[in-house]
Structure 1
Amino acid sequence: MEFTELDDYRIAAGILTEWLPCAAEDDWRADPRPASYIHEAHLRRTSGARYGGGRDSWLGTAFEVPGPLDGEAFRRALQRWIDRHEPLRSHAALGDEESGMVVRRTTPPGRVSVRPIRHDAAEPDTIRDRLLGLLDDYTAPHLWPSYVFATLERSGDESHSGDFAPFTVFFGADHSIIDGYSVVLVAHEISALYDEERTGRAADLFPVGSYIDFGAAERDESARVDDDHEAVRIWRRTLTEGGGQAPAFPLPIGQRPARAVPQRRLSERWFDDEQASQFSARCRRSEAGFFAGALACLGQAATELAGTDRFRTVAPAHTRAGPIWAGSLGWFVGLRPIDLDLTGTTGFDELAARGAAELRRTRAAARVPFVRVGELLGTPILPRFVVSYMDVRFVPMAAQWPELNARALRSRSYTHDVYVWINRTPEGVNVSARFPDNPVAGENVLSFLSRTRELMHLAVPAGPWATPPETGAVPPTGR
């Protein structure tokens, strides 16, 4: 599934319907369970006006369902899905300024209804603007609901054969209740529940745990972590060597703008499925996994373009430690620092092996919330350069994503950092990125990713890497 922004998703003319979750005030109950570390940190970070109340932090998805839309069956399916995932029926918010506490309220299953608001038929640009406004308005972390649904029925959707074109489902949620892996589960679960409501065919969804319970247990466990814990030692070394900061992109990315400016984005297919399998086999011959091989190529690109002898970044890792969490909605993400030694070799085998060793060395760092580690170290950990790898080939319905026009969506971002997502799907490998929208960052990030892509392809034949071509990368004379 490609990760992209809504601006890059194909939208047809048609009728947009908003599906808004609602709950009566009397149905809410005080809930003593705390927010997870990352959720609370997110609430505090986005509480200022500078961040727009967190409206630049949503994730979502879009996918097609064979039509025509049965509105009543769809409404029931959404309500059942909300009942299935407790974070959709719960809300944590910052309390009064004096206490600074996070206050949670939760409503039992069966108490959240979904109200449709159907608009008149409109052209694609109007629908896109309406969707962007809807997602921004309903996904703020400080309000409930912090998620929303919409459907789009195409104008003139009946074909000459009498069949109906599919309708499109859009879903967006604040990052506090959903992560990248959660996003790719949505299409299957909502489609299965909708099909059950229409046909009576059982959805057969596996039981899931509540991320709220996970966050509470995580806090209990993290309270026992001290400053001699392996995760703290790993991050202490990283921050010490980085002058108190997390790793930055190896080349300049221009000056931080005086005002918030939307980041530039990129999404490319780097491998088809056969090429991805070939690269994976090449990694195995080097006794490394796919991500370790990708790190080798990223590191080699860094040393060629920036002259650095270390490739440093931060990599997310999921924290879904048991089967009960496999299908849960939530922010199940830890962070680990990566420090890949590039000295003494330019060969793929050695660098991939070093990448695998580095992933093993830093595994413990992702098991403790980085917010908790920052508390123990007395300094917040603020990621500046992130490389994410996710293999979603075996997610339910993954093979049908292309025919369903399924995409993972993310909000616009206004930060001064670089994020790269490497996603392996049944179609191959898609790489997306976001970075500051200025000439320096544009030149350097694109050159870096282009060379990494070349190196990944060059690694497959098991021969030596070719000498890099001349690039337009801006030399590392400043940030």
Structure 2
Amino acid sequence: MEFTELADYEISAGTLTEWLPCAAEEAWRADPRPASYIHEAHLRRSAGGRGGSGRESWLGTAFEVSGPMDTETFRRALQRWIDRHEPLRSHATLAAVDEAVGGVVRRTAPPGKVSVRFITHGRAEPATIREHLHGLFDDYTTPHLWPAYVFATLEPDPGDETSNSASSFTVFFGADHSIIDGYSIVLVSSEITALYEEERTGRTAELFPVGSYIDFGASERAGSTQLDDDHEAVRIWRRTLAECGGDAPAFPLPIGHRPARVTPQQRLSERWFDDAEATLFAERCRDAGAGFFAGALACLGQAAADLAGAERFRTVAPSHTRTGPMWAGALGWFVGLRPIDIDLSGDPDFVTLATRAARELHDTRSSARVPFDRVGELLGVPIRPRFVVSYMDVRFVPMAAQWPEWNARALRSRSYTHDVYVWLNRTPQGVNVSVRYPDNTVAAANVPRFLERTCELMHRVVDSGPWAAAAE
């Protein structure tokens, strides 16, 4: 599934309907479970910003469902999905006391207490619909209000050729990052489609049970209370900050100055490999004793050496924290962060670099298992990632083979930060790469150039085999 922005998703003219979760005041119950570290930190970072809007922190998805829209059936499917995932029925807010140390207050509604109402708008053209969806997601996906998520559907004009099916409708979903992560997003289309089909036909959805991210966050917090500044994860981050001048690793090439005026970042999304090429690249990596991500990091590192003369490649890599089967299909922010530092010295060949990258991923795994914001507490400094490289293999997500047929995409909000994020996603169709970077001429020249060189190196591994010396 390609990760992109809503602006890049093809939208047809048609009729838009908003689907809005709601619950009576008496449905809510006080819930003593704390927020996860990353959720609470997100609440604090976003407090007071632009009226608490979610403009910089929502994730979402869009996908088509075949057949005409059955309004009541779809409403029941959404309510069942909300019942399935407790974070959609729970809300945490900063405590009213001293917000520097105050923690959060949580309220949760039991299953069956959240209903969904809908508002249908008149027919509109694609530009109007896209603008409306942007506003809808920005308004609803703030972590400081419930619901921090929203649904919409688009029924295209009869005979519209931009839809994959002559009779279909498109589902849009957006949620604040506090209740969903990149892996959660790729689960949404299959689950909602399965529940809709069960409601429509009686065919069992066969969704396996899932745990609650709220329980995960409470357990994570309890398990982190005994950490101290001598923990391995803290030592790894302390060393990284010291070697990077007090900050997280930066992009290896200049990306220009932070603008005085807040400007949305630029973006690009490309298909680098088809499935056969991705399989061959994985085999080359395996022959080198490394995994796919380690091989990709080797090529990223070599690109940094080629273009910037770098002797080390540094970045931050997200890693999932779904440690048990109950979390495999759960919605939540199951993400840890690890600093990556790969030695580029000695004119290494691909096998050497891939081996070094694999060793680094192994040696830093403990730092991804500890809540990132807890590490920051122990170090006494806020750690803000500046250059992130994310890798996800989503080939085995339920119904992943149907994503092209469903025109399914993972969506992310616009970003206004001064950093570079790279997402490499391996799907049944191959490898997609999505990137966002500052909107200035320096970044616009250097980031695509760096990615182009990385892509060339990865294809060189596939086409000619691992390079024997530093790539020219």
Q: Same fold (TM over 0.5)?
A: yes
Question: Distance between the aligned counterparts of 2:440 and 2:365, measured in 1?
Answer: 35
| Structure 2 counterparts to residues 85-104 of structure 1, below 5 A | 85-98=85-98, 100-104=102-106
Contact 2:53–2:139, Cα closer than 8 Å, also in 1: no
Which residues of 2 match residues 18-97 of structure 1 at below 5 A?
A: 18-49=18-49, 53-97=53-97
Deviates more, 1:400-409 or 1:45-54: 45-54
Structure 1: segments with no counterpart, 5+ residues: 470-479
Aligned match of 2:253: 251
TM-score, normalising length: structure 2: 0.97
Aligned-partner Cα distance in 2 for 1:97–1:257:
35
Question: Structure 1 residues 41-50 or 117-126, which shifts more?
Answer: 41-50
What are the Cα deviations for residues 416-475 of structure 1, in whole angstroms up to 9, with x where unaligned? 000000000000000000000000011110110000000000112225379867xxxxxx
The question of whether the paired residues in 1 share the 8 Å contact of 2:424 and 2:431 is answered with yes
Contact 1:195-1:203 at 8 Å conserved across structures: yes
User: Distance between the aligned counterparts of 1:370 and 1:122, measured in 2?
Assistant: 44
Structure 2 residue identity aligned to 1:174:
D
Counterpart residue identity of residue 465, structure 2: A
The one-letter code sitting in structure 2 at the alignment partner of 1:56 is E
2:283 is the alignment partner of 1:281 = yes
TM-score by length of 1: 0.95
Q: State the SS of the aligned residue for 1:458.
A: helix
- 2: CA distance, partners of 1:463 / 1:263: 34
Query: Cα gap change, 1:72/1:158 in structure 2, threshold over 3 Å: closer, same or farther?
Result: farther
Aligned counterpart, 2:467: 464
Determine the structure 2 residue equivalent to 1:475. none
Task: Tell me: CA distance 1:466–1:271, structure 2 relative to 1, closer, same or farther (3 Å).
Answer: farther
Alpha-carbon shift at residue 378 of structure 1 (Å): 1.1
Number of positions where the alignment pairs a residue of Structure 1 with one of Structure 2: 466
Q: Which amino acid aligns with 1:12?
A: S
* 1:52 positional shift: 5.1
In 1, distance between residues paired with 2:206 and 2:50?
44
Deviation of 1:158 after TM superposition, in Å, equals 8.6
Q: Give the drift of 1:166.
A: 1.1
Aligned AA (1:410): R
Equivalent position of 1:187 in the other structure: 189
Q: How does 1:146-161 map to 2 (within 5 A)?
A: 146-157=148-159
Matches within 5 A, 1:254-273: 254-273=256-275
Aligned-residue offset at 1:381: 1.3
Alpha carbons of 1:339 and 1:290: their partners in 2 closer, same or farther (altered >3 Å)?
same
Contact 1:345 1:351 in 2 (8 A): no
| Separation in structure 2 between the aligned mates of residue 316 and residue 289 of structure 1, nearest angstrom | 16
For the aligned residues, what is the CA RMSD? 1.5
Contact 1:196 1:202 in 2 (8 A): yes
Of 381, 394, 397, the match for 2:396? 394
Question: Structure 1, residues 387-415: CA drift from partner, whole Å, max 9, x if none?
Answer: 00000000001001001100000000000
**Structure 1 residues 467 and 374, CA, compared in 2 at 3 Å: closer, same or farther?**
closer
Of stretches 135-144 and 454-463 in structure 1, the one that deviates more from structure 2 is 454-463
Contact 2:152–2:172 under 8 Å retained in 1: yes
Deviations 1:140-198 (A, max 9, x none): 11110000000000111499xxx852100000000000000000000000000000000
Contact 2:12 2:160 in 1 (8 A): no
CA distance in structure 2 between the aligned counterparts of 1:246 and 1:105, rounded to whole angstroms = 35
Which consecutive unaligned segments of at least 5 residues does structure 2 have? Answer: none
Identity %: 74
